[in-house]
Amino acid sequence: MTKNILVLIAFTVSFGAGFIFHKWMVNDKCDNTTHAKVTVNNKKIMKRVTGIGGIFFKCKNPNAIKDWYKKHLGFDTDQYGTNFQWYQADDSTKKGFTQWSPFSEKTKYFEPSTKEFMINYRVENLELLAEALKKEGVQIVDEIETYDYGKFLHIMDVEGNKIELWEPIDVEYDKVTDGITK
């Protein structure tokens, strides 16, 4: 009986120590989030990607695709595609948006990538992130562009996929989309 109790205590202590070690490692790496932080001079200062801001893809007939998705999947489409509205995990009072957009198969917007798609990622502090990416040798395609609803920058990944980085201003984006979101 005493042996069983000692084994149970040893197991519980081992499990607890492993759990604490795991929590400590996760907190140390990501500051209680699942998003990687930008590190400058060994100091974690911000999240890099905070979510998906949009999915863009080439197709033969964007209007037919939008109509198909509207009819069969219930998308509330407009001239650009549709927006999916959601609430941010860090602050459930703040809206967030993900854009879905079909592009003509002849679009040049995805260049220099030759891929059929482009993903837009939501980020924090695009200027600081751009500096970190340059230092890391990431190919920057253009300069940061600023609009009322946020800032944008395009980069290339290691396999030639063009990626759009967006530092959103969701309150202004909501106005641009006239609240036409799902």
Evaluate whether residue 38 is within a structural domain.
Answer: no
Residues 14, 91 within the same domain: no
Q: Which helix (H) or strand (E) holds 47?
A: strand 43-47
pLDDT tens-digit profile, the chain (182 residues): 555 554 445 444 444 444 444 444 444 444 434 445 555 556 666 688 989 999 999 999 999 999 999 999 999 999 999 999 899 888 888 889 999 999 999 999 999 999 999 999 999 999 999 999 999 999 999 999 999 999 999 999 999 999 999 999 888 888 877 645 44
Residues 54, 93 within the same domain: yes
Single-letter code of the amino acid located at 27: N
Evaluate whether residue 181 is within a structural domain.
Answer: no
pLDDT value at position 41?
59
User: Which range marks the domain in which residue 23 is found?
Assistant: 2-30
Q: What is the largest CA-CA distance in the chain?
A: 76
Taking the whole predicted model, whether its pTM rises above 0.95 is answered as: no
Structure tokens at 164: 């759009």
Which residues have a Cβ under 8 Å from the Cβ of 154 and sit 6 or more positions away?
Answer: 140, 141, 142, 162, 163, 164, 165
Asked whether 52 and 118 are in contact (CB, 8 A), the reply is: no
Counting the structural domains of the chain, the total is 2
Asked whether 97 and 168 are in contact (CB, 8 A), the reply is: yes
pLDDT value at position 1?
54
Residues 105, 166 within the same domain: yes
pLDDT value at position 16?
47
pLDDT value at position 26?
41
Q: Residue 102: is the preceding peptide bond cis (ω within 30°)?
A: no
Helix (H, G, I), strand (E, B) or coil at 138: coil
Spatial distance between the Cα atoms of 84 and 180, rounded to a whole number of angstroms: 9
Residue with tokens 């009819």: 71
pLDDT value at position 22?
42
